[in-house]
Structure 1
Amino acid sequence: MAKATLYYAHDPMCSWCYGFSPTWQALQEALIERYSQDQLQIVYLAGGLAPDSDQPMPAEMRMKLEAIWHRIADELDATFNYEFWQNNTPRRSTYPACRAAILARHDNKEAAMISAIQRAYYREAQNPSDTDVLLGCAVAIGMNLETFAEALNSEETQSQLLQDITLARSLGLNSFPSFALVLDDAIHPIPLDYRSTDNMLRSIATHLSV
């Protein structure tokens, strides 16, 4: 079997990615159990929902996003702390959180960073658009605070994020979360199922068995 790569496009501040996270964790565990690293590699791509911005989020967008949180809570039984909308000045700015995930990737802590950001954002009503929140997440997962702080907004880290975004787009991953399986230079979209791993496992297995 030729080695395949499963690309997972996400954004740490994407509420649907947060709602999908338990199923995504279960899917990863099933894939790791079923396939060796020589058969299948799993790669995260930070999709970059919204560039850096210091502008407060318009009231209309705040209302829209809060409504989406309620929808995800109802459909996927996800837990949200709605005090976020009263305790913060939200900004449409997810690039900082994406860069934090990329920095954690270098320490093999990417999944831990994403989880820490989601916990801070959705459960603790903190704003991951703010640098101090991301610094707290870095400390929580055991990263070197000085090194992380220095690199978070560097040109090199931003360049790595833009490379992730470009690769995601080239694979047709224009929404988050989404998957693409690449095997022998062929790109195979994997249909997403928020509630069950069964269909996704079946789709991946079908391509890998060819």
Structure 2
Amino acid sequence: MNRLYYIHDPMCSWCYAFKPVLASLRQQLPDDMEFVALLGGLAPDTNDPMPEAMRQQLQDTWRRIEIKVPGIEFNHDFWDKWQQTQPRRATYPACRAVIAAHSFDFLEMDSPDSHQFENLMIAAIQKAYYQQALNPSDKQILITLAETIGLDRSAFKKVLEAEACQLELDKQIAQSQQMNARSYPSLVLGITQNDSKNSSFWPVSIDYRNAESMLETINMLLEFED
């Protein structure tokens, strides 16, 4: 089966900006193509405060996105009130929260293929970070967000802190790196020939304004490999 891999991080501002066009792209993919989201993991765990230069760099990135991508806005209170929000360059906690939330999809939904809680957690993290000036690097924030999407606090906390959660994140990071996806968001088309178990991987350039150019690239690659 052919697959379109989406490599992302819930605390990647460019991934947040790409969300509307990604939704449009997914709706137009061929029916026989599987969409696979992988967490790339922008920044590992740390308790160190974010340096001033990096705080300024990231706020400048938010401003560039607001100019480049129509309809995307950020709450800059997160940076203006940095003494209260206490930014850290750590996105692994948010990535683990997405993995932990997805584990409840298998327990509570009729179909094991459902990604309902996974998607709800991504949306909750992005809303908290980009609109509510909350810090998803903090475990307690993530546990509270899990409760807002309908998960039990104590059960979610147990899964979030389990070693298996970090092992799954390590696995997804390694898989994305094997496809040479080292910036976020990234799209990689995996094409499997009918007579082979091996896949070839092709990068698809991101377009933050519309899905058409990406669809053209995908269709061209499918025809080339046919």
What TM bracket, shorter-length normalisation? over 0.9
CA distance in 2, matches of 1:75, 1:153: 38
Q: How does 1:128-147 map to 2 (within 5 A)?
A: 128-147=136-155
Q: Based on CA coordinates, which of the two structures has the bigger radius of gyration? A: 2
Does 2:87 align with 1:90? yes
2:21 match: 23
Deviation at 1:95, TM superposition (A): 0.1
CA distance in 1, matches of 2:18, 2:11: 12
- Listed as ranges, the gaps of 5+ residues in structure 2 are 106-114, 193-198
TM-score by length of 1: 0.92
Does 2:80 align with 1:103? no
1:164 match: 172
CA distance in 2, matches of 1:144, 1:188: 40
Question: How much identity, in percent, do the aligned residues show?
Answer: 42
Write the letter of the residue equivalent to 1:130.
D
1:54 match: 47
Q: Deviations over 1:37-81 (max 9, x none)?
A: xx2111111111111111100011001111111111111131101
Does 2:190 align with 1:176? no
CA distance in 1, matches of 2:216, 2:123: 26
Q: Deviations over 1:120-143 (max 9, x none)?
A: 000010000011211122122222
Count of matched residue pairs: 203
- Listed as ranges, the gaps of 5+ residues in structure 1 are none
2:6 match: 8
Deviation at 1:189, TM superposition (A): 1.0
CA distance in 1, matches of 2:73, 2:151: 27
Q: Is the 8 A contact 1:96 1:153 kept in 2?
A: no
TM-score by length of 2: 0.86
